[in-house]
Structure formats: C-alpha cells, structure tokens
Structure 1
Amino acid sequence: MKAKEIQELIDFISNSGLAEVKIETDEFKLSIKKNSEVAVARPADVSNPQAVAVPQPAASHSPENNVNHAPAAASFLEVKSPMIGTFYRSPNPDSDYFVNVGDVIQKGQTVCIIEAMKLFNEVESEVSGKIVKILVDDASPVEYDQPLFLVEPQN
C-alpha cells in the first residue's frame, strides 16, 4: 500500500464518522483509530510549494551540505515531507544519493525515500530547479510537512 493510498484511507475514515478501522492482508496490518481530541495530519500539497525567503545559511560542517550556499534573501521553494517517517537520501546504504546540493532536478524526479510503518515511499519533487540546501540528515526522523530541501526555481 502506497503512502498516498494510506492518506486517502485516513481522509476517508476521518470524514466517515467511523471511530476505528483495522485492515489486514498478507503484506501488512493497518489499524487506524480516530481520536476526536487530536487533529489528523494531512500530507503537504506539494503541487503548490511555498516560496520562502531564506537568510544566508551558516557554514555547515557536513560535506554534502557545504556546497553552493544560498544567496541572502533569495526566493526558494521547499520540498516538504508528505508524512511522518525516517528520511533516506538513497535507496539503500550502498547506493548513491538521489540528489546532492547543486543538482538540477525535474518535476517528478525522486529526491528521497521516507520510511513509514516499514513501507519505503519514494518522494518525488513537484518542482523543477537546483537543490541549494539539504535540510535533513540521512536516516533522520522527519515530521509531516517538514521542509527537506530548498530548491532554486529554474527559468
């Protein structure tokens, strides 16, 4: 089950009035319990990325982030996490990263993987441009809607 399908299921349950749903197949078990006191997180609408002003970043000690620092007060787009999980820059520990600082990416290109509930979900960019900063370390936990990359739009 893909992350989008899980989110659609969560949205359906939220709107249906059901308090709890359990789904079990050969590949996975899924239990969703609605708590009326807690708001349900929804994935970012990455089709409408937000432009943000970013100040001059401080020097980074990690080599992959220490290249091509962003100019002051430039307008960048954020690629945000569509879910809670663990951020991975490559498909496996022996592979190259999907993207690095300075890489030019295209809309639809896989930029990272987010692991959630033992499912590895490829995150595709909804924007085209140049990666100017990677905001999350490899194998770090991420929150829903957390910025992962800063992208300089290409004309």
Structure 2
Amino acid sequence: MNLEEIKSVVELMKANQITEFDYDNGDTHYRIKRDLNSGKPVPVPSASTEASSNKAEKIEAVQTINAQMVGIFYTSPNPDEEPFIKVGDDVKEGQTIGVIEAMKMVHDVKADQSGKITKILAANEENVEFNQPLFEIE
C-alpha cells in the first residue's frame, strides 16, 4: 500500500464514519484508527503479523452496545447522580446503561444483551454518532 492508497482509505473512513481499518497482505500489516472527535488518524503501534492476527481474533470476540441515534451521550440521569453503570458491572438485557439527548429529548440507551461491561467507550457529555460503539460487553 502506498501513501496515496492510505490517504484514499482515510478519506473513505471519514466519509463512512468508519473508525478502524485492518489490512494484511501476508508480509505487511496496516491498521488505521480514527478518533471520531478529531477526525484525525490515530497512530497504532505495529506488531508482527502473527500477533496482529491474534489481536484480530480477540477483537472479533468483543461485543459492543452502540448508539441508536445521534446526540449527546450521558453516563448518568442527572449531573449530580451516580453513573448508570461502571466498568466491571454486570448488566441485563433491557437495562438502562446511559442516555442520549437529541433535540431536547432524552432517550434511554438500553443493553441489547446481558453480560459484563468491560469498557466504556464514550465520555460523559460526548457527541455521539449513529451506531457508534458506546460500551464493550462480554
């Protein structure tokens, strides 16, 4: 992959709100990550092809709970209240785990599956996009 091809991939990622791209041609492995807030590519340390394929297998096993709409994400019902959940909490399908404010209306973000929250991917009061991963769950 040459520089022009990489630039093209980054532009396609921007246009389609893609945050991560992996490419492996056997000898070389490319991984491009974008931060949706800044729109700039995020450097990712490279690793051997074997280690990268192991990471890819682990990534596939990670499930996410995604935003169902565009808006402002909140981790708690009110600024002076505790967050709905924190990393390590077990959640049940249908449980409210956050809220998104869109056009002055507040919508619950509900767990679409039961499991343990392993990572919170969106910050409190962060603008989120449709289908943006908010939580990792196992």
The alignment's TM-score, normalised by the length of structure 1, stands at 0.51
Aligned length: 81
3-state DSSP of counterpart to 1:131: strand
1:109 aligns with 95
Q: Residue 151 in 1 paired to residue 137 in 2?
A: yes
One-letter amino acid matched to 1:110: T
The match for 2:78 among 92, 103, 109 is 92
Q: Which runs of 5+ in 1 are unaligned?
A: 1-71
Q: Which runs of 5+ in 2 are unaligned?
A: 1-54
Partner amino acid, structure 2, of 1:92: N
TM-superposition CA deviations, 1:24-79 (whole Å, max 9, x none): xxxxxxxxxxxxxxxxxxxxxxxxxxxxxxxxxxxxxxxxxxxxxxxx62612110
Structure 1 or 2: more helix by fraction: 2
How far apart, in 1, do the equivalents of 2:63 and 2:84 lie?
18
Q: What does residue range 1-12 of structure 1 map to in structure 2 within 5 Å?
A: none
1:138 matched to which residue of 2?
A: 124
Q: Percent identity?
A: 44
- Residue 68 of structure 2 is matched in structure 1 by 82
What is the CA-CA distance between 1:82 and the residue it aligns to? 0.1
How many Å separate the matches in 2 of 1:82 and 1:145? Answer: 6
**Equivalent residue for 1:123?**
109
